[in-house]
């Protein structure tokens, strides 16, 4: 027997246990081990039925993703599954932890499924740009019906055991994993339960469901390949016989496997896990425990940040200058929670528990017992320094003092204290209680509040916003060169972002950038580098975006649909004239390059400066903080996929046409000269 799978006996029940940490993925060793264990069970005349379970913290979490794209080894998964389904003795899956992807597909070939209440099941392949390729798309709809199967395979959502029981994905639920499953197996044997095979069950769909489903989700799935292929597979289950459906699934699985979308999404999967690893901080380094947080500033941002901590069960003291500001801030927090309760996504009881974790004060002396103090006030250096001097006076020794700035120097803020080593930047993204990203210099706490934390250095705009300025700036330069806002936004939307730079500007408020540009601080890019001329003129008309019913676009009341505005078009054309620029037509491809290549170029500069640790960290920032599409893998992966030599050639063309802001980053030049990609740079 292999080390990865062992076979033991409990009376007349054989127990097959997969032991392949961390997640019991279906590696070659596991497949070979399963093969041997099944043979042992079949051959033993005392064994009447078998239980198949995972050792350690989980059942099987899926195929081994690290084997993808490598030459096949070991017994093929389909053959193992065939042997399970056609076993002459009952096989019962016993699920704890997670049964995901190929893991759930293994259980669907077992004759019955048992789970503990905390178990989760799901087919998350779609998140890797794939589809369940081991019969999942053919067997799941036979159990749960076509509509539910469509939702499960296209979302990749995990289903908790109690719900899986209701849906019929599992047959029995009980508290004890091994004892419970063995008892269930004994009962099935005693009852003479049949060798139930899901493949023999019927699968039907109502007329038109697939077309309707494709139509209803067209917007959501745009740019992705896998959701569409998943739907095709479920359709095959409902229209073809089982074996033909399996053949179709295999064919479409291969289409997904070789697609650039899947390569990008698998890159994102590993990149998300990579961000947590910091070379200077070995695994197991003790983390500062945060038992209490003080939040300076109870505005929208402060309140949103504070909610993250309350959600994680950590008490938060809200600090403001005046009682009215505290009352206003607490009312917003309460309303946010209430909305979630009203939508049925939080129980009233949980909301009450979270609200009870908040306390308020106007006296800085009260922050003395906080382990972490986070400041989220206006982006004004003087104000921040004043606050940090007070924090220095009242915070206990060892407390972490964080600023939620994204544009001011953390080093300068820290200079207002006598403990600069305790001062960090924590850049939450707005709305802070929703967005998944946190740019940070102290990693442990971010994970605790459910954020993907990325370590970044202290530079203007940290990483994400610094790159963003390149993108939004180039967007307005595109307007000067001949494009219109709706054209640029349309191209960016079709590329896969939630919206283009102008719709985004209108939503965020154009006045913010206007004020920053007017301040013209010495360490900031100049107005010309920002591409500020057009937005300045729009702001001068009092058009600040959605909040003033108009910015780059007009808006009807209560409607966020942008409507092109002739006055704005006139401004744009006038600016081109003033700058002696001949307006030209652009196709979408050129717009995408002009608007998005600055992300790559600035990303390369940031890497060169050591402000971000890895190309994949930048990808994670862009996907989670700025809505860059996962099917493109983030800006740096996207650049690799295009080919850095091609990207550089276009940048050189822009450099010649448009000037210094397009000077290619030295790192990019070097990678191309060395024939390397960002991924190869990262691999070392």
Q: DSSP state, 190?
A: H
E strand spans, 485-637 = 553-554, 563-564
Our finding on whether 51 is near ligand 3H9 (CB under 6 A) is: no
Structure tokens at 669: 């030049």
Our finding on whether 138 is near ligand 3H9 (CB under 6 A) is: no
Our finding on whether 264 is near ligand 3H9 (CB under 6 A) is: no
Cβ closest to ligand 3H9, residue 68 vs residue 378: 68
- Kindly indicate which of the ranges 120-128, 223-231, 435-443, 578-586 contains the residues binding ligand 3H9, using the contact rule CB under 6 A: 120-128
Binding mask 509-528 for ligand 3H9 (x = CB under 6 A): --------------------
- Under rule CB under 6 A, how many of the chain's residues touch ligand 3H9? 24
- Kindly indicate which of the ranges 5-13, 58-66, 87-95, 525-533 contains the residues binding ligand 3H9, using the contact rule CB under 6 A: 58-66
Distance (Å, whole) CA 530 – CA 517 = 8
In the complex, minimum distance from the CB of residue 436 to ligand 3H9, in angstroms, rounded to a whole number: 14
In the complex, minimum distance from the CB of residue 113 to ligand 3H9, in angstroms, rounded to a whole number: 17
Which residue from 30, 93, 134, 443 is in contact with ligand 3H9, where contact means CB under 6 A? 134
Which residue from 25, 119, 203, 256 is in contact with ligand 3H9, where contact means CB under 6 A? 25
Structure tokens at 648: 């550089």
Within 10 angstroms of residue 209's Cβ, the number of other Cβ atoms is: 16
Cβ closest to ligand 3H9, residue 132 vs residue 470: 132
Contact (CB, 8 A) for 617 and 464: no
Cβ closest to ligand 3H9, residue 14 vs residue 62: 62
Binding mask 100-119 for ligand 3H9 (x = CB under 6 A): xxx--x--------------
In the complex, minimum distance from the CB of residue 122 to ligand 3H9, in angstroms, rounded to a whole number: 8
In the complex, minimum distance from the CB of residue 617 to ligand 3H9, in angstroms, rounded to a whole number: 14
Contact (CB, 8 A) for 588 and 468: no
In the complex, minimum distance from the CB of residue 650 to ligand 3H9, in angstroms, rounded to a whole number: 34
Our finding on whether 380 is near ligand 3H9 (CB under 6 A) is: no
105 tagged catalytic: yes
Backbone angles phi, psi at 191, to 5 degrees: -80, -5
> CA of 544: how far to CAs of 143, 250, 519, 552, in Å?
53, 52, 17, 8
Q: What value does the CA radius of gyration of the chain take, rounded to a whole number of Å?
A: 28
What does the CA dihedral 8, 14, 19, 20 come to, rounded to 10 degrees?
Answer: 140
Supply the angle between the helices 260-274 and 635-642 in degrees, to the nearest 10.
140
- Kindly indicate which of the ranges 126-134, 191-199, 389-397, 626-634 contains the residues binding ligand 3H9, using the contact rule CB under 6 A: 126-134
- Kindly indicate which of the ranges 95-103, 217-225, 316-324, 437-445 contains the residues binding ligand 3H9, using the contact rule CB under 6 A: 95-103
Question: Element (H or E) spanning 591, and its range?
Answer: helix 588-609
Distance (Å, whole) CA 327 – CA 343 = 24
In the complex, minimum distance from the CB of residue 273 to ligand 3H9, in angstroms, rounded to a whole number: 4
Our finding on whether 600 is near ligand 3H9 (CB under 6 A) is: no
The label of the residue with tokens 């503990």 reads: 116
In the complex, minimum distance from the CB of residue 177 to ligand 3H9, in angstroms, rounded to a whole number: 17
> CA of 178: how far to CAs of 16, 39, 302, 450, 504, in Å?
11, 21, 47, 31, 53
Which residue from 2, 17, 20, 98 is in contact with ligand 3H9, where contact means CB under 6 A? 98
Contact (CB, 8 A) for 446 and 431: no
Our finding on whether 99 is near ligand 3H9 (CB under 6 A) is: no
The label of the residue with tokens 């990808």 reads: 619
Cβ closest to ligand 3H9, residue 65 vs residue 209: 65
CB-based contacts of 235, cutoff 8 Å, min separation 6: 205, 210
- The active-site residue out of 85, 125, 320, 480 is 125
Burial degree of 618 (CB within 10 A; 0-12, 13-18, 19+)? buried
Exposure of 647 in the CB half-sphere (CA atoms within 13 A):
31
660 tagged catalytic: no
- Kindly indicate which of the ranges 22-30, 447-455, 499-507, 529-537 contains the residues binding ligand 3H9, using the contact rule CB under 6 A: 22-30
Cα 325 from chain centre: 34
- The active-site residue out of 105, 272, 375, 480 is 105
Backbone angles phi, psi at 26, to 5 degrees: -80, 65
DSSP per position, 302-344: HHHHHHHHHHTT--EEEE-SSHHHHHHHHHHHHHHHHHHHHTT
Distance (Å, whole) CA 426 – CA 438 = 7
In the complex, minimum distance from the CB of residue 383 to ligand 3H9, in angstroms, rounded to a whole number: 39
Distance (Å, whole) CA 195 – CA 90 = 6
Q: DSSP state, 418?
A: S
Cβ closest to ligand 3H9, residue 134 vs residue 182: 134
Our finding on whether 126 is near ligand 3H9 (CB under 6 A) is: no
Cβ closest to ligand 3H9, residue 25 vs residue 367: 25
Which residue from 124, 475, 525, 531 is in contact with ligand 3H9, where contact means CB under 6 A? 124
Cβ closest to ligand 3H9, residue 80 vs residue 672: 80
Q: Which of residues 59-78 bind ligand 3H9 (CB under 6 A)?
A: 61-66, 77
Our finding on whether 128 is near ligand 3H9 (CB under 6 A) is: yes
**Residues known to be catalytic:** 105, 125
- Give contact residues for ligand 3H9 (rule: CB under 6 A): 22-23, 25, 61-66, 77, 98, 100-102, 105, 124-125, 128, 130, 132-134, 136, 273
């Amino acid at each position: 027997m292999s080390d990865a799978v062992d076979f033991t006996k409990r009376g007349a029940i054989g127990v097959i246990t997969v032991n392949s940490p961390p997640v019991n993925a279906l590696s070659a060793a596991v497949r070979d081990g399963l093969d041997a264990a099944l043979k042992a069970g079949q051959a033993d005349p005392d064994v009447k039925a078998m239980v198949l379970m995972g050792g350690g913290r989980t059942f099987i979490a899926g195929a081994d993703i690290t084997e993808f794209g490598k030459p096949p080894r070991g017994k093929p998964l389909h053959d193992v599954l065939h042997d399970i389904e056609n076993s002459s003795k009952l096989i019962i899956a016993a699920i704890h932890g997670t049964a995901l992807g190929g893991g759930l597909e293994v259980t669907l070939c077992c004759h019955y499924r048992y789970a503990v209440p905390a178990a989760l099941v799901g087919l998350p392949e779609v998140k890797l740009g794939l589809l369940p390729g081991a019969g999942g798309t053919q067997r799941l709809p036979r159990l749960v019906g076509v509509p539910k199967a469509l939702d499960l395979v296209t979302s990749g959502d995990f289903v908790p055991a109690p719900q899986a029981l209701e849906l019929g994905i599992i047959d029995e639920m009980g508290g004890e994993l091994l004892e419970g499953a063995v008892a269930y197996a004994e009962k099935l044997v005693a009852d003479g339960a049949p060798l139930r095979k899901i493949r023999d069950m019927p699968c039907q769909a109502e007329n038109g469901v697939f077309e309707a489903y494709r139509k209803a989700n067209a917007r959501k799935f745009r740019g992705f390949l896998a959701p569409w292929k998943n739907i095709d597979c479920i359709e095959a289950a409902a229209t073809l016989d089982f074996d033909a459906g399996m053949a179709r699934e295999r064919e479409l699985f291969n289409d997904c496997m070789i697609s650039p979308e899947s390569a990008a999404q698998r890159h994102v999967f590993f990149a998300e896990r990579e961000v947590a690893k910091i070379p200077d901080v070995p695994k197991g380094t003790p983390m500062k425990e945060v038992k209490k947080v003080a939040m300076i500033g109870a505005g929208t941002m402060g309140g949103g940040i504070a909610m993250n901590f309350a959600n994680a069960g950590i008490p938060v003291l809200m600090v403001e200058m005046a009682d009215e500001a505290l009352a206003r801030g607490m009312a917003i927090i309460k309303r946010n929670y209430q909305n979630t309760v009203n939508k049925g996504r939080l129980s009233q009881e949980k909301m009450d528990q979270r609200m009870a974790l908040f306390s308020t004060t106007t006296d800085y002396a009260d922050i003395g017992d906080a382990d972490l103090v986070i400041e989220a006030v206006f982006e004004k250096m003087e104000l921040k320094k004043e606050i940090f001097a007070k924090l220095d006076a009242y915070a206990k020794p060892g407390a972490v003092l964080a600023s939620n700035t994204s544009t001011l120097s953390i080093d300068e803020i820290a200079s207002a204290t006598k403990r600069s080593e305790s001062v960090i930047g924590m850049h939450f993204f707005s709305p802070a209680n929703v967005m998944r990203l946190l740019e940070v210099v102290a990693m442990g706490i971010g994970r605790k509040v459910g954020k993907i934390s990325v370590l970044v250095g202290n530079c203007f705009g940290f990483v994400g916003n610094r790159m963003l300025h390149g993108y939004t700036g180039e967007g307005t330069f595109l307007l000067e060169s001949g494009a219109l806002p709706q054209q640029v936004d349309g191209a960016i939307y079709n590329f896969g972002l939630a919206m283009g730079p102008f719709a985004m500007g209108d939503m965020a408020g154009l006045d913010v950038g206007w004020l920053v540009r007017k301040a013209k601080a010495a360490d900031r890019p100049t107005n010309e580098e920002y591409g500020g001329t057009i937005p300045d003129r729009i702001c001068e008309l009092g058009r600040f975006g959605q909040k003033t019913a108009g910015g780059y676009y007009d808006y009807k009341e209560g409607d966020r649909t942008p409507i092109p505005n002739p006055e704005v078009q006139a401004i744009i054309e006038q600016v081109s004239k003033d700058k002696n620029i001949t307006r030209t037509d652009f196709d979408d491809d050129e717009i995408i390059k002009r608007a998005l290549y600055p992300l790559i170029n600035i990303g390369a500069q940031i890497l060169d400066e050591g402000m971000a640790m890895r190309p994949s960290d930048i990808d994670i920032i862009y996907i989670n903080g700025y809505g860059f599409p996962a099917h493109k893998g983030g800006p740096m992966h996207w650049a690799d996929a295009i080919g850095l030599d091609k990207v550089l050639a276009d940048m050189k063309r822009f450099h010649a046409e448009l000037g210094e802001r397009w000077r290619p980053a030295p790192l990019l030049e070097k990678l191309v000269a060395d024939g390397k990609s960002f991924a190869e740079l990262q691999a070392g």
